[in-house]
């Protein structure tokens, strides 16, 4: 079926309209304009003003111009995934007064676009070429809930002071970057932070001191050999800790004092011993939530040598995962 025939066939529903444009709409204005996988080199013209979702993924768009989204004040979600966009006009997003979701992954951006809509709730900008996040890059985004910016060649020095100033997030992920330590100036109210697949060598005493509200922390697939004693005391609300696929040789100190910790991933390290007090406090009253998951498989620890009392604060023995270790 030709694209024009597809567009004609979707008129009746008033829900979906297919590119290419210019569009010819009979009566009902579509809520979704589907323009993906068409080899487009620029944003199409004549997009209906009442469009709520515009799908432009998997094209060859290289630039967003000033008037590309003019008149689209009702747009709720915009997908630009897998294009070749390297240039964004500073005023390109100004017309999008009510946009909440922007999917900008797998492009050629070298920086965070300017003047993002203040209504934005979710930003996916991973797998670009961003090396620097400038001061105020996310300013005015008081409604932001989630930022995914992994897969960019960002080093610790790439975050300028104030880059996340005033930003309150529920979820932040900076995975598959070039971080060698926990960044110092990330949003300090976020309950969920993922820094997996980086080059972090150690967790030093003050690294987590800003992030007291964390309940989930992802540090898996790094090069962590040491977690300084006292570091985990700064995240007392933590419920889930990912330290899998690192280079730890011992259970991190401080786990017994974490009252709410329920899940700990420690598999694929170099841990050779589990002590009777490595996970659980001596008094049951100190632990508010029992563990329901501890993974220790792919470590050189002889599980038959571990005393059962080491897991006295685990709710279910099935939550303890050992397994064979192979060099």
Instruction: List, in order of start, the domains of the chain with CATH numbers.
Output: 200-327 (3.80.10.10)
142 φ, ψ (degrees, to nearest 5): -70, -15
Q: What pLDDT, on a 0 to 100 scale, did the predictor assign at position 15?
A: 52
Q: Kindly tell me if the per-residue pLDDT of 19 is higher than 80.
A: no
Q: If you average pLDDT over residues 84-98, what whole number do you get?
A: 97
Instruction: Indicate the pLDDT class of residue 12, thresholds 50, 70 and 90.
Output: very low
Q: If you average pLDDT over residues 246-260, what whole number do you get?
A: 96
Instruction: Indicate the pLDDT class of residue 91, thresholds 50, 70 and 90.
Output: very high
Q: If you average pLDDT over residues 257-270, what whole number do you get?
A: 97
The number of residues making up the chain comes to 327
Which tens digits make up the pLDDT trace of 188-225? 999 999 999 999 999 999 999 999 999 999 999 999 99
Q: What pLDDT, on a 0 to 100 scale, did the predictor assign at position 195?
A: 98
pTM of the model: 0.88
Give the up-direction half-sphere exposure of residue 138: CA atoms within 13 A in the CB hemisphere.
Answer: 31
Q: Kindly tell me if the per-residue pLDDT of 285 is higher than 90.
A: no
Residue-wise burial string across 263-299, b where 16 or more C-beta atoms lie within 10 A, e elsewhere = bbbbbbbebeebeeebbbbeeeeebeebbebbbbbbb
Residue-wise burial string across 79-90, b where 16 or more C-beta atoms lie within 10 A, e elsewhere = bbbbbebeebbe
Q: What pLDDT, on a 0 to 100 scale, did the predictor assign at position 325?
A: 58
- The contacts of residue 17 (CB under 8 Å, 6+ apart) are 7, 10, 11, 23, 25, 30, 32, 33, 34, 48
Which tens digits make up the pLDDT trace of 153-198? 999 999 999 999 888 899 999 999 999 999 998 999 999 999 999 9
- Average per-residue pLDDT in the chain? 89
Instruction: Indicate the pLDDT class of residue 115, thresholds 50, 70 and 90.
Output: very high
Q: What pLDDT, on a 0 to 100 scale, did the predictor assign at position 14?
A: 45
Least confident of 19-23, 43-47, 209-213: 19-23
Q: Kindly tell me if the per-residue pLDDT of 5 is higher than 60.
A: no
Which tens digits make up the pLDDT trace of 290-326? 999 999 999 999 989 999 999 999 998 889 998 765 6
The helix (H) or strand (E) run that includes residue 8 is helix 3-9
Q: What pLDDT, on a 0 to 100 scale, did the predictor assign at position 315?
A: 92
As a whole-number percent, the residues of the chain with pLDDT over 90 amount to 77
Residue 52, Cβ density class (10 Å: 0-12 exposed, 13-18 middle, ≥19 buried): middle
Q: If you average pLDDT over residues 28-38, what whole number do you get?
A: 79
Q: What pLDDT, on a 0 to 100 scale, did the predictor assign at position 318?
A: 87
194 φ, ψ (degrees, to nearest 5): -125, 120
Q: What pLDDT, on a 0 to 100 scale, did the predictor assign at position 228?
A: 96
Residue 242, Cβ density class (10 Å: 0-12 exposed, 13-18 middle, ≥19 buried): buried
DSSP string, 194-241: E--SS---EE-TTTTTT-TT-SEEE--SS---EE-TTGGGG-TT--EE
3-state secondary structure of 64: strand
Which tens digits make up the pLDDT trace of 64-87? 999 999 999 999 999 999 999 999
Q: What pLDDT, on a 0 to 100 scale, did the predictor assign at position 220?
A: 98
Q: What pLDDT, on a 0 to 100 scale, did the predictor assign at position 30?
A: 59
Q: Are 84 and 108 in contact (CB under 8 A)?
A: yes
């Amino acid at each position: 079926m030709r694209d024009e025939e597809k567009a004609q066939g979707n008129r009746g529903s008033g829900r979906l309209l297919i590119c290419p444009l210019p569009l010819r709409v009979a009566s009902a204005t579509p809520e979704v304009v589907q323009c993906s996988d068409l080899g487009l080199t620029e944003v199409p013209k004549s997009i209906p003003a009442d469009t709520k979702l515009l799908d432009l993924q998997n094209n060859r768009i290289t630039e967003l111009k000033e008037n590309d989204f003019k008149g689209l004040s009702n747009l709720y979600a915009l997908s630009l995934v897998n294009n070749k966009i390297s240039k964004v006009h500073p005023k390109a997003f100004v017309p999008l007064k009510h946009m909440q979701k922007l999917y900008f992954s797998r492009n050629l951006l070298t920086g965070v676009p300017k003047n993002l809509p203040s209504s934005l709730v979710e930003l996916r900008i991973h797998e670009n070429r961003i090396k620097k996040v400038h001061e105020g890059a996310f300013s005015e985004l008081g409604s932001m809930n989630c930022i995914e910016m992994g897969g960019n060649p960002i080093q610790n020095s790439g975050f300028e002071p104030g880059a996340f100033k005033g930003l309150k997030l529920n979820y932040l992920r900076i995975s598959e970057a070039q971080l060698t330590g926990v960044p110092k100036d990330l949003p300090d109210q976020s309950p969920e932070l993922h820094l997996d697949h980086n080059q972090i060598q150690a967790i030093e005493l003050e690294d987590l001191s800003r992030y007291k509200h964390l309940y989930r922390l992802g540090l898996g697939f790094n090069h962590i050999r040491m977690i300084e004693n006292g570091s985990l005391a700064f995240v007392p609300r933590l419920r889930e800790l990912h330290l899998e696929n690192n280079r730890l040789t011992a259970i991190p100190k401080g786990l017994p004092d974490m009252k709410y910790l329920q899940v700990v991933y420690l598999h694929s390290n170099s841990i050779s011993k589990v002590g009777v007090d490595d996970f659980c406090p001596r008094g049951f009253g100190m632990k508010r939530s029992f563990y329901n998951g501890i993974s220790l498989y792919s470590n050189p620890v002889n599980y038959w040598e571990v005393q059962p009392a080491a897991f006295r604060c685990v709710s279910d023995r099935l939550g303890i995962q050992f397994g064979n270790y192979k060099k």
